[in-house]
Amino acid sequence: NAGVTQTPKFQVLKTGQSMTLQCAQDMNHNSMYWYRQDPGMGLRLIYYSASEGTTDKGEVPNGYNVSRLNKREFSLRLESAAPSQTSVYFCASSDVGRSNQPQHFGDGTRLSIL
C-alpha cells in the first residue's frame, strides 16, 4: 500500500527557475495538503484542497500555486524560485469529516534553491 507518494525526493534549482512538485495518494481521501518544514518552525501549511475542484490558501501561500488535478493528485508549483523557498516540502491527505482520521504524510521533497 503506497499511501502518499511525492516526487521528486530531492531537487536543486537556481533562483528564478520554475518547478512543480507532484503528490499522489491511493487512499481515496478527499482532502490533500502541502506543507513546508523549516528548522525550528515545525510544519507550515502552504495550500490545501478540501475536495476535488477546490483549493484554499494556508498559512504561507505566497510564491506558490497548486492544482488539484483529480481526487488522487495535488501538485505544488513554484513559478520563480527564491532562496527563501529552500525547505523540505510534505504532502498529506486525509478524510476530513470522518471521525478519528489523521493526515497521512508523504516522505517529503528536499528542495534547495541557489
* CB of residue 63 to another protein, shortest distance in Å: 19
**Among residues 17 and 110, whose Cβ is nearest to another protein?**
110
104, burial (CB in 10 Å: exposed 0-12, middle 13-18, buried 19+): middle
- Out of 17, 19, 50, 67, the only residue in the binding site for another protein (CB under 8 A) is 50
Instruction: Report the C-alpha gap between 24 and 69 in whole angstroms.
Output: 10
Residue closest to 23 by CA, chosen among 81, 78, 90 = 90
Q: CB-wise, 38 or 79, nearer to another protein? A: 38
Q: How far is CA 98 from the centre of its chain?
A: 22
Sequence-separated (6 or more) residues with CB below 8 Å from residue 59: 44, 45, 46
102 contributes a contact to another protein by CB under 8 A: yes
59 binds another protein (CB under 8 A): yes
Distance CA(16)–CA(24), nearest Å, equals 26
Residues of span 4-23 touching another protein by CB under 8 A: 4
Pick the binder of another protein from 19, 27, 58, 65 (CB under 8 A): 58
Residues lying near another protein in the complex (CB under 8 A): 4, 31, 33, 35, 40-45, 48, 50, 56, 58-59, 90, 96, 100, 102-108
